[in-house]
Amino acid sequence: MYVIVQILQGCTAGNIIKDCDLSMSPRLLFGFCIALTLCLLMLHYFVSSRSIIELVGSCVDKGCFDLQVGEKFQPVIQTFVDATRFDGKINTKSKPQLGYLNFYVASSKLPGRLSWIKCNCAYIGSDTIICDEAFLRSFSSSVNFTRDSIYGKDADKIWEDVRRTLSKVNDDTSTNLAAWIIGHEIGHAVLHEASSSLRRIAMTREMENAADSYYLDRALAAKDPKAADKVSWALNQFIFQAVSLAYDNGKARIAASVDDVHDPWLLRAMALGQRIVDKSRNPADDFYKSLGQSISVEPTGSGVGSFCEFQNIREKAAKKQEQRLEEQPD
C-alpha cells in the first residue's frame, strides 16, 4: 500500500527509494482510504452480482424453474419493457443473459439464498426477476366466484348458465393482477438497476411507489381503450374481497406487510385505484379516500392485506358465504 501511495504521489518504481518523500500526508492517506473502500465496494458488488447470476443459472440447470410458465408471461412482460433497454431482450428460456430481462417462475421450493421468494415475485438484481409459481397460481382464480358462493349448494342449473361469464371475469381479473406484480418488478429492474431484494440492498418506500407508478403508467398506456376500466375492475375485486373479509366492528383491520417496506397490498391497490380516478373525467370522486378511513393497519389485523393470503381470501370468503346461507331462513 505504501508503494502505491508513493506512485500516486508521482514517484516511479525506479526512484522510490532515492528521491521520493516517503512521508504520507494525512490528506493523501484519507483520500487513499476512500478510494480503497470504493474499490472494495465495487468488487463486492461485482462478485455478488456474479454469484447471483451463477446461482440462478445453476438453478435453471437443475430444473428449479418452470420455463414454459415463464414463457407464457412474455406478452405481459413485453407491455412493460417497450422502449426500454430490455425491448426485444426478454429471456425466459435459458440461464440469465447479460443485458436481457431474465424472468423465471419457480416450479418448486427454491434452494439456498433463493428460498425466501415465497408467495411473491422479486427483482433480485442483475436484471433478473423470479416469481414463485404458487403465487402466480393463486391468480388463476383470484376472485371468489364459485357456484356455492352465489346460489347455494343446489344451484346447478343457474350456475351452469353463468359459469362461462364468471370464468371469463376470473381470467381477466387474474391476468390484470398478475400484470401488476410483474410490471412492478420490471419497474424495479428498469428504474432501480442496482437494487436487489436478494442482496438486501434496501428499496425505499419512494422506490416502491415509483415501481407501482411505472406499472400503472404502462398498463394505462396500453393500446386497449378499456385498459383503465379493466385495471380498475381487477383492483376493485381484490379491494372488495379484502375489505369485506377484514371488516370487524366498524373497521377493516389489516396486518402490515411482512417486509415493512411495501405498504400492504390492499392500500397499494387503493392508491392505484385513486390514481386512475385522478386521471379520469371525474377526479372529484373520493371513493378510495373515504374507504381508506374505514381501514386501519394493526398488528393483530387480518392478513388479507397481503397477496400472499390470496388463497386464504378465497377460503375465508367461501366460509363466510356458507355461514350466511346457513343463517338464511328457509
Residues at the site binding Zn ion, with contacts judged by CB under 5 A: 208, 211
We find the least distance from the C-beta atom of residue 190 to Zn ion, in angstroms, to be 12
CA distances from 126 to 50, 56, 103, 195, 204 (A): 8, 11, 11, 9, 19
Distance between terminal CA atoms of the chain?
Answer: 89
User: Which residue in this structure is represented by grid cell 473502500?
Assistant: 37
We find the least distance from the C-beta atom of residue 203 to Zn ion, in angstroms, to be 6
We find the least distance from the C-beta atom of residue 208 to Zn ion, in angstroms, to be 5
We find the least distance from the C-beta atom of residue 73 to Zn ion, in angstroms, to be 17
141, with CB counted inside 10 A (0-12, 13-18, 19+), is middle
Residue closer to Zn ion, measured from CB, 210 or 317:
210
We find the least distance from the C-beta atom of residue 254 to Zn ion, in angstroms, to be 18
Buried-state track 6-25, b at ≥16 Cβ within 10 A, e below 16: beeeebeeeeeeeeeeeeee
Residue closer to Zn ion, measured from CB, 79 or 257:
257
We find the least distance from the C-beta atom of residue 238 to Zn ion, in angstroms, to be 17
Residue closer to Zn ion, measured from CB, 143 or 269:
269
We find the least distance from the C-beta atom of residue 133 to Zn ion, in angstroms, to be 19
- Please give the grid coordinates belonging to residue 278: 385522478
The phi and psi torsions of 191 (rounded to 5 degrees) equal -90, -30
Contact 258, 265 (CB under 8 A): no
Angstrom distance (rounded) from CA 247 to CA 118: 27
Residue closer to Zn ion, measured from CB, 145 or 180:
180
Residue closer to Zn ion, measured from CB, 211 or 252:
211
Angstrom distance (rounded) from CA 131 to CA 182: 8
Residue closer to Zn ion, measured from CB, 106 or 121:
121
Report DSSP letters for 104-140, one per residue: EEESSPPPGGGTT--SSEEE-STTEEEEEHHHHHGGG
Give Cα 330 to chain centroid, integer Å.
46
Residue closer to Zn ion, measured from CB, 175 or 209:
209
